[in-house]
């Protein structure tokens, strides 16, 4: 298999890269299940933020650094902040 990466001097061996990518895919699948199964809302938001970081690493391993940047900021920071604010609002109404 001749890929663009294989032609560059800093190429990672294909077998190693494949192992990394498959490992990350399994972790992301497991992480998604873990997030969905979380019942505590605060814990859920923190898990989701961590899951965003995991997804960002996945995108990076699949050679999409620009998507990594978007996922890091939106998935790991902005989305959890929006959810936290929504939880705070609901909690306040419940009081």
Partner 1 sequence: MTPRQRLVLFGVAIAGLAACYLWAFAGLPGFGRYPGPYGPAILSRVIAQTNATGVVSAVNFDYRGFDTVGEEFILFTAAAGMAVVLRRLRGERERSPVDEARDRALPPTSGAVRMPALLLTGPIVLIGWWLASHAQTNPSGGFQGGVVLATAFVLVYLSGEFLTFRRISPVAVLDAVEAVGAAGFVAVGLTAVALGFPYLYDYLPLGQVPGAVSSSGTIALISFFVGLEVAAAFILIIGELLEQTLLVRSG
State yes or no: residue 18 binds partner 1 (CB under 8 A): yes
State yes or no: residue 65 binds partner 1 (CB under 8 A): yes
Span near partner 1 by CB under 8 A; candidates 26-34, 39-47, 50-58, 69-77: 69-77
Question: Quick one: tokens of 39?
Answer: 């019942």
Backbone φ, ψ for residue 47 (5° rounding): -60, -45
- Virtual torsion, Cα 79, 94, 39, 34, nearest 10 deg: 0
Least distance to partner 1, CB of residue 10, Å: 16
Is 6 or 30 the residue whose CB approaches partner 1 more closely?
Answer: 6
Least distance to partner 1, CB of residue 17, Å: 8
Residues 6+ apart with CB under 8 A from 93: none
């Amino acid at each position: 298999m001749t890929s663009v990466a294989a032609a560059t001097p800093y190429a990672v061996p294909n077998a190693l890269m494949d192992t990394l990518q498959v490992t990350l895919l399994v972790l992301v699948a497991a992480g998604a299940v873990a997030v969905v199964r979380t019942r505590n809302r605060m814990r859920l938001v923190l898990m989701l933020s961590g899951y965003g970081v995991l997804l960002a690493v996945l995108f990076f391993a699949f050679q999409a650094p620009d998507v990594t940047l978007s996922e890091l900021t939106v998935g790991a920071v902005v989305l959890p902040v929006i959810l936290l604010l929504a939880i705070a609002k609901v909690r306040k109404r419940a009081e």
